[in-house]
């Protein structure tokens, strides 16, 4: 939510397409009546409501203050259900408005329609991200390079360009962190990547929700999407109550088996096995693969590894890191204080408001790793850019001048 409230909606507002977010928005009664009341065509009724309002000629805007606060889902199950419900609702909205070509949006300008279309297409990008759970191991075990070149000079410049692209990406994230700071009141360089990291480990759930909601008939497991608020979902395991949470065995059975976290648990060693096989193939080129070394030299081995497991942004490492989330959640669930301890009462009005520490991300080991991993990747990318100037030097002999062949 920090990325949505602090960054996405700031950008959308500047483009004239601010969204009504959850229950934290107000509108004129006449505006609501003009669009026929609260939308029922989509599970993402807030976004659908925004689109209908703008399409009917009303204006929406982002108010730079918080109207209300809400608790995050209290369990792993509730979190997954919330995110998949949002995804299904956004896809429903995209279909309902025919990807912003519907005459129901006659009041939208071109820029507003383009903003909405980008949001629609972004939902389907999550399906492509889910495909990486198959494509990454497949490329590793097949030994297929992630980049194609025909001359040494081409490879050198491809390495330099991907390193430069990575640097531009990090600069962009830093700037987006500044944009978010104007809304949230504090700076976080990683905030622009929150959703993408979340969508990586949610990929299998997103893909399953799409297939069951839009493709499979009911007799084969398809289901009509329904709405259930996150707060209405119980937490039988008391996962975030350090004094009353269920045993490790119960949490493991529920999250890894019943909630299908086992997919991530199995995928990690499968992926790491492909990485290990790639390393072994660089030493023993006679092991069958899609493309083998033409001659075993240090230069050939280094290039073989770079173009298969070391190519920025090292997607396999990102997905291994993301897939650890369910496992680490089982082993080290975060502890959250009771609601009353997170609120402070205004003595004049009697209203209760969240304490400052309750509305900011906790600074703990969970958050620390999110900074360590990209820092290591940055250092590796700088190293890769530097060695590109010596990659085909005589001190590192190589005759692997053609990748596929």
Report the mean per-residue pLDDT for the chain. Answer: 86
pLDDT of residue 119: 92
| DSSP string over 73-119 | PSSHHHHHHHHHHHHHHHHHHHHHTTTTTSGGGTT--HHHHHHHHHH
Question: What average pLDDT score do residues 80-108 get?
Answer: 93
Q: In terms of pTM, does the model score above 0.95?
A: no
- Checking if the pLDDT of 193 tops 90, the result is no
- Checking if the pLDDT of 189 tops 70, the result is no
| DSSP string over 183-248 | HHSS--TTGGGHHHHHHHHTHHHHHHHHHHHHTS-GGGT--------GGGS--TT-TT-TTTPPPH
Could you tell me the two tokens for 38?
A: 């609260």
pLDDT of residue 297: 61
- Kindly state the percentage of the chain with pLDDT values over 90: 49
With beta carbons less than 8 A apart as the criterion, state whether 273 and 371 touch.
no
pLDDT of residue 1: 64
For 193, other C-beta atoms within 10 Å of its C-beta total 19
With beta carbons less than 8 A apart as the criterion, state whether 277 and 141 touch.
yes
- Checking if the pLDDT of 163 tops 50, the result is yes
Q: What is the pLDDT of residues 251-298, one digit of tens each?
A: 999 999 999 999 999 999 999 999 999 999 988 888 888 777 666 666
Determine the Cα–Cα distance for residues 134 and 127; give it in Å rounded to an integer: 12
Determine the Cα–Cα distance for residues 3 and 10; give it in Å rounded to an integer: 10
SS3 144: coil
pLDDT of residue 301: 86
Determine the Cα–Cα distance for residues 200 and 129; give it in Å rounded to an integer: 6
Residue with tokens 């493309």: 291
- Checking if the pLDDT of 403 tops 50, the result is no
Q: How far is CA 184 from the centre of its chain?
A: 20
- For the chain, the domains span 2-387
Longest dimension (CA), the chain: 80
- Checking if the pLDDT of 231 tops 70, the result is no
pLDDT of residue 294: 65
With beta carbons less than 8 A apart as the criterion, state whether 317 and 378 touch.
no
| pLDDT confidence tier of residue 327, bands split at 50, 70 and 90 | very high
The more confidently predicted of residues 336 and 404 is: 336
Determine the Cα–Cα distance for residues 380 and 163; give it in Å rounded to an integer: 10
* Closest to 319 (Cα-Cα) out of 199, 174, 168, 211: 199
Determine the Cα–Cα distance for residues 297 and 161; give it in Å rounded to an integer: 25
* Closest to 213 (Cα-Cα) out of 229, 226, 224, 202: 224
As beta bridge partners, residue 343 has 354
Determine the Cα–Cα distance for residues 225 and 90; give it in Å rounded to an integer: 12
pLDDT of residue 20: 86
pLDDT of residue 54: 95
| pLDDT confidence tier of residue 398, bands split at 50, 70 and 90 | very low
Determine the Cα–Cα distance for residues 255 and 237; give it in Å rounded to an integer: 10
pLDDT of residue 395: 45
CA angle 369, 338, 72 (to 5 degrees): 55
Helix (H) / strand (E) containing 327 = helix 315-331
């Amino acid at each position: 939510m920090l990325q949505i409230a602090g960054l996405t909606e700031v950008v959308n507002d500047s483009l004239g397409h601010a969204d009504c977010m959850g229950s934290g928005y107000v509108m004129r009664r006449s505006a609501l009546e003009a669009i026929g009341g609260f939308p029922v065509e989509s599970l993402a009724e807030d976004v659908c409501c925004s689109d209908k309002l703008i399409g009917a000629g009303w204006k929406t805007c982002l108010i730079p203050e918080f109207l209300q606060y809400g608790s995050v889902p209290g369990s792993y199950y509730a979190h997954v259900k919330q995110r998949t419900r949002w995804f299904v609702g956004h896809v429903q909205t995209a279909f309902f408005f025919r990807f912003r070509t519907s005459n129901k949006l006659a009041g939208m300008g071109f820029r507003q329609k383009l903003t909405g279309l980008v949001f629609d297409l972004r939902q389907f990008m999550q399906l492509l991200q889910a495909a990486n759970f198959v494509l990454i191991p497949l490329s590793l075990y097949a030994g297929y390079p992630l980049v194609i070149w025909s001359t040494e000079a081409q490879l050198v410049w491809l390495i330099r360009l991907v390193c430069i692209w990575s640097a531009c990406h990090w600069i962009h994230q830093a700037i987006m962190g500044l944009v978010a700071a104007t809304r949230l009141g504090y700076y976080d360089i990683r905030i622009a990547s929150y959703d993408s990291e979340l969508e990586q480990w949610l990929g299998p759930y997103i893909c399953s929700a799409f297939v069951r909601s839009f493709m499979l008939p009911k007799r084969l497991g398809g289901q009509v999407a329904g709405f259930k608020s996150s707060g209405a979902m119980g937490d039988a395991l008391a996962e975030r109550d350090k004094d009353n949470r269920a045993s490790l065995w119960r949490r493991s059975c529920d999250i890894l088996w019943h909630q299908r976290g086992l997919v991530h648990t199995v995928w990690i060693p499968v992926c790491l096995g492909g990485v290990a096989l790639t390393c072994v193939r660089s030493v023993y080129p006679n092991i069958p693969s899609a493309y083998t070394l033409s001659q075993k030299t240090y230069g050939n081995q280094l290039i073989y590894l770079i173009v298969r497991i070391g190519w920025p942004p090292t997607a396999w490492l990102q997905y291994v890191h993301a897939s650890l989330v369910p496992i680490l959640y089982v082993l080290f669930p975060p502890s959250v204080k009771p609601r009353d301890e997170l609120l402070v009462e205004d003595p004049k009005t009697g209203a209760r408001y969240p304490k400052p520490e309750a509305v900011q991300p906790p600074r703990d080991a969970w958050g620390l790793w999110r900074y360590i991993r990209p820092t290591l990747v940055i250092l590796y990318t700088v190293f890769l850019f530097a060695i590109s100037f010596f990659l085909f030097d005589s001190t590192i002999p190589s005759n692997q001048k053609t990748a596929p062949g």
